[in-house]
Chains A and B, each alone.
Chain A
Amino acid sequence: MLSRVADSLFWISRYIERAENIARCIDVNLNLLLDLPGEERQFEAIIQTAGCSRDFYHKYNNASSENVMHFLTLDEENQGSVISCVANARENARCIRETITLEMWMVINKFYHRLREQTAKEQMLNNPHNFFTEIKEFCQLYVGIQDGTMSHNAGWNFAWLGRMLERADQTTRILDVKYYMLLPDISMVGMSLDIVQWTALLKSVSAFEMFRKTFSAVTPQNVSEFLLLNKNFPRSVLYCVEHAQRALKKITDSQSTTNGEKSIRVIGKLKSQLEFSTIDEIIAKGLHETSDDIQLRLSHFNAAIRNDFFDCTWQI
Chain B
Amino acid sequence: MKFESYNTEGFFDELFLENGEPRSCARALIETINELPDGELQRRQKTAEATFMDIGITFAVYGSKDGAEKIIPFDVIPRIVEAQAWSHLERGLKQRTEALNCFLNDIYGEQKILRDKIVPEELINTCTAFRRECIGLIPPKKIWAHITGTDLVRDKDGTFYVLEDNMRCPSGVSYVLQDRRILKQTFPKVFSKCAIRPVDEYPSKLRSMLEYLAPEHIDNPHVVVLTPGVYNSAYFEHSFLAQQMGVELVSGNDLLVKDKKVYAKTTSGLVPVHVIYRRIDDEYLDPMTFRADSLLGVAGIFEAYKAGNVALANAPGCGVADDKAIYTYVPEIIKYYLGEDNVIPNVPTFVCEDPVKMNHVIANIDKMVVKAVSESGGYGMLVGPKATDAEREEFKEKIKANPRNYIAQPMISLSRVPSIVDGGFEGRHVDLRPYIIQGKDIYVLPGGLTRVALKRGSIVVNSSQGGGCKDTWVIAPDKGAPEQGQSHQYMQHQQQQQQQQLIGGIIC
Contact = CB atoms under 8 A, between A and B. Distances in A.
B219 interface: no
B453 to A, nearest CB: 28
Contacts of A4: 251, 253-254, 265
Q: Is chain A's interface secondary structure helix, strand, loop, or mixed overall?
A: helix
Contacts of B230: 91, 94-95
Nearest to B53: A113
Nearest to B264: A2
How many chain A residues sit at the interface, stated as a range, is 20 to 34
Interface stretch (B1-9, B147-155, B238-246, B349-357): B238-246
B105 to A, nearest CB: 33
Contacts of A206: none
Nearest to B236: A97
Contacts of A119: none
B269 to A, nearest CB: 5
Contact of A2 (B240, B243, B250): B250
B256 interface: yes
A113 B264 CA distance: 34
A259 B267 contact: yes
Contacts of B53: 113
Interface residues of B, number: 29
Interface string A145-175: 0000000001000100000000000000000
A120 interface: no
B263 interface: yes
B332 interface: no
B265 A2 contact: yes
Given A94-B230, A255-B267, A109 B249 contact: no
Given A94-B230, A98-B239, A98-B243, A257 B254 contact: no
A314 to B, nearest CB: 6
Contact of B56 (A109, A310, A312): A109
Nearest to B265: A3
Contacts of B270: 314-316
A105 interface: yes
Nearest to A106: B54
A3 B267 contact: yes
B243 A312 contact: no
Contacts of B243: 97-99
Contacts of A5: 248
Contacts of B240: 97-98
Nearest to A107: B54
Interface in A101-143: 102, 105-106, 109-110, 113
Contacts of A255: 267-268
Given A4-B254, A98-B249, A109-B56, A154 B242 contact: no
Interface of A: 1-6, 91, 94-99, 102, 105-106, 109-110, 113, 154, 158, 251, 255-257, 259, 309-310, 312, 314-316
Given A2-B265, A3-B254, A154-B267, 10 more contacts: A2-B264, A3-B267, A4-B265, A95-B230, A97-B56, A97-B239, A98-B225, A99-B249, A113-B53, A257-B269
